[in-house]
Structure 1
């Protein structure tokens, strides 16, 4: 089958290399992995808690260890890495809030006053506003449904998600800007596949797959060989239960911040707000903010740890004693990660971008897996599904109204 060529553009820096690795670029395996994530979020609207069915549907579209994927991808002109000195967004006033979003995996605090902040980056990156092309081809015999679902997964990735490290915190944004060659399968049109602008997000109250050709996603899922006969009737399989993995639809919530500006300014403000939101308590004298959970749980007797709903592990460091206290998810003796349910990303182009936030309001941990627990050393802590909903809803409502978590007596 002939190749389809799509024009793409990065909207924020993409960190897609290994630790301290030079030569970062946009890689097909990373792109395919992100497409799989969004395919599961889409297919979960029909598969529900039937994880075997979910895996079978994914296997039919993206392949597995024993089955070749019918979707072939290539990037003929992969963008090269930027010199780390080009990370001028880290040198701007307030750049420490962007450093905070990058996290310890991507940024090491610069302690030497002779160093510029960008020297703290631990990885190369692909610049924002970098153009490249993606070629897609479907192997002979690929069904129209499988091809359509592969494009749906790419559209979701570029509309809601991101690529590489810290995609949940606004990095790795991509936009599909057009179709430059080839014919799209099924009902897809170039306009449907192009990533929408901010006006699209203004009309959302949840993450949806009802845009253009995506409105047919249930019919596409039903047409896959692995789909059972009743898959088209499973329009709301999670009624009465919270999804145990990210799923589009009713168990999501969204917000679009009213401010329009450049992506560095958006992420700087988002980092400042997220930092103060997580801190929780701020002394009236403008001193160091206090996390209630540190006082009540880490150093207190409470076993309730609602902050964990925003992602684990969390490590508290006491500079006076140099003690580190880590709250984490464990399965037996194995330490696991619980990713944050809250995402944000700049949407739009140029100086008129806006911050789009969303959250997956599913189960914090699958209740049926009795081996999973939240632990602080030998202590078992409690993080509830309601904690997740409350924390995420508070963030989203404040972002939607243009409010702030930053105290008035603190530098903005």
Structure 2
């Protein structure tokens, strides 16, 4: 697998040098297998191991290696003409680039190898499919380490093979021929053909998942993929920086339009400010109006919580007062939107993927916090995520494919 963007994968010392840890990658493979197989509960322990009665070790041992991997530290202080030249990249990586909190990472452009060591070849076809599907999804949609849903730690599957104990290549599993690798495509059209063919193959292998009420990230109806071709990177700028900067700018512009620049004054920014003033009257006079409410009678949370939690609004017009939104039981919830740079020879593209997954546990409300004041809110739905994808002028793939 080729590192497309910096890989921030902490070890025993999170602030120390990054480490290639097999358990981290095994967990990612399990994650993607659950996403694609609706019947994962009946096979997962046999393939990836389990701790239940009669379960045990995985059917393989995993090693992750990389030769002479180079590391570096983020430095995003460059400005041109008095403006932040990489504001979009900073927007996506703020937790990694805050002054004094810079993290070490494995530099992009390098290669890591995942070695699956089997005592014997997996006899069940569905076991082989489970292993290959998890590798393929990790190398086409996922990544490793910090900020993977915002493009960091992107890994691209470049090739796979089967070797004997002496290290000689032997006959590949027949399932490998069914699942095309998109990396190495020279154009958007070719990459999309390979990618869509791979998704169609996974659909044939595992069937259709019910994504109406997902309990975890799930590949199935409701999944959307938009590929956006980018102009060449500016001179002196790495291609991955250019790609993530464009992604961050697109996301930031959309959030501003929906949050602040709405002509009706009912964007997320204004709604959050009015809620803050109701919870903390000392901040200023509150406008008297009836907020939008759900059937539960609770007020509806700002739309932007659908991008992930926690979400904080800070208002300079109110002496820096802020309001925080998070789950009542869960402080954090990962975004359902994945951003991934794609190499296309001398150019790059951006893949935006929306995968069905729960924002919070069933029935769990959002909690707004202002100082010691708390109020429970209902979830707003996913329409803002759909509208963001609609705002992109790219090529789209939806599920089911083909």
Report the TM-score when normalising by structure 1. 0.73
Are residues 1:311 and 2:297 paired? no
Equivalence for 2:248: 271
Equivalence for 2:400: none
Query: Which runs of 5 or more structure 1 residues have no equivalent in the other structure?
Result: 1-7, 48-53, 111-119, 219-234, 403-412
Shift of 1:142: 3.2
2:366 to 369, 374, 390: 374
| C-alpha contact 2:180 2:194 (8 A) present in aligned 1 | no
Cα distance per residue 1:360-391 (max 9 Å; x no partner): 24554453xx4x2211132111113xx31x11
Shift of 1:313: 0.9
| C-alpha contact 2:9 2:105 (8 A) present in aligned 1 | yes
Equivalence for 2:327: 329
Are residues 1:82 and 2:63 paired? no
2:78 to 77, 81, 91: 91
Equivalence for 1:23: 17
Question: Aligned in 2, Cα 1:337/1:196: closer, same or farther, shift over 3 Å?
Answer: farther
Kindly report the root-mean-square deviation, in angstroms, between the aligned alpha carbons of the 2 structures.
3.1
| C-alpha contact 1:148 1:186 (8 A) present in aligned 2 | no
In structure 2, C-alpha distance between the alignment counterparts of 1:290 and 1:189, rounded to whole Å: 48
1:189 to 177, 180, 196: 177
| C-alpha contact 1:25 1:125 (8 A) present in aligned 2 | no
Equivalence for 2:216: 245
| C-alpha contact 1:59 1:67 (8 A) present in aligned 2 | yes
Equivalence for 2:43: 57
| C-alpha contact 2:4 2:156 (8 A) present in aligned 1 | yes
1:139 to 106, 119, 123: 119
Shift of 1:323: 3.5
In structure 2, C-alpha distance between the alignment counterparts of 1:257 and 1:348, rounded to whole Å: 12
Query: Which runs of 5 or more structure 2 residues have no equivalent in the other structure?
Result: 164-169, 233-238, 279-289, 292-298, 396-402
Question: Aligned in 2, Cα 1:360/1:190: closer, same or farther, shift over 3 Å?
Answer: closer
Shift of 1:23: 2.0
Equivalence for 1:357: 352
1:33 to 27, 31, 43: 27
4+ residue segments displaced more than 6 Å? 204-208
Question: Aligned in 2, Cα 1:379/1:173: closer, same or farther, shift over 3 Å?
Answer: same
Shift of 1:237: 4.8
Question: Aligned in 2, Cα 1:245/1:216: closer, same or farther, shift over 3 Å?
Answer: same
Equivalence for 1:50: none
Question: Aligned in 2, Cα 1:391/1:34: closer, same or farther, shift over 3 Å?
Answer: same
Equivalence for 1:410: none
Are residues 1:383 and 2:379 paired? yes
| C-alpha contact 2:4 2:109 (8 A) present in aligned 1 | yes
2:141 to 160, 169, 181: 160
Question: Aligned in 2, Cα 1:317/1:175: closer, same or farther, shift over 3 Å?
Answer: same
| C-alpha contact 1:89 1:264 (8 A) present in aligned 2 | no
Cα distance per residue 1:113-152 (max 9 Å; x no partner): xxxxxxx553111111112322222233633432331121
Number of equivalent positions: 342
Shift of 1:242: 3.4
Describe the SS at the equivalent of 2:105.
coil
